[in-house]
Amino acid sequence: MPRQTTHSNVQAPQKNRPRDPVAAGERDAAVNRAASHNYFLLDRFEAGVALRGTEVKSIREGKANLKDSYGIIKDGEAFLLNAHIGPYSHGNSSNHEALRTRKLLLHQEEIRKLTSQTQIKGHTLIPTRLYFRRGKVKCELAVAKGKQDWDKRETERRREADREARAAIAHSKGKYAK
């Protein structure tokens, strides 16, 4: 009697799960919302970030925070300080430190520009967002000048005036649409 096989030549259908929007680069992994409130953002640069494997996985999980972070340039190299990347959930004893200093990967010409711009009094480097591009973690750095309290109030007044103007336009369009 021939032996019956349980194998079949029919392949199982593959699951078409949508890819994580953060990993696909469709959505930012972390955004520094306080940066535009506390600083005038003057010039922006894209920098790569030298990370460990558990840090990348943790960023994909959404455990990155740029709130109190800033950048410095020291000895011709750029670094990101105080960027909090939480520990990876499935990590082991060799998991990364949450607040370690991370090196930013920039071209020498970009580093020279940043050096000259940050030597001006009151200017600093602020990371505004972390995101993925072609599978690599990128950091958007902005040369920023600190706002005074009256600058923040003026920005809020302008924003409120714009909001009221948009509401008035929408209201008037609604009246005449009938």
Fold of 30-147: Small Protein B; Chain: A; (2.40.280)
**What's residue 1's pLDDT?**
60
Domain ranges of the chain: 30-147, 148-178
**What's residue 73's pLDDT?**
92
CA dihedral 155, 44, 121, 149 (to 10 degrees): 20
**What's residue 103's pLDDT?**
92
**What's residue 55's pLDDT?**
85
Regions in the chain scoring below 70 on pLDDT: 1-16, 19, 23-26, 175-178
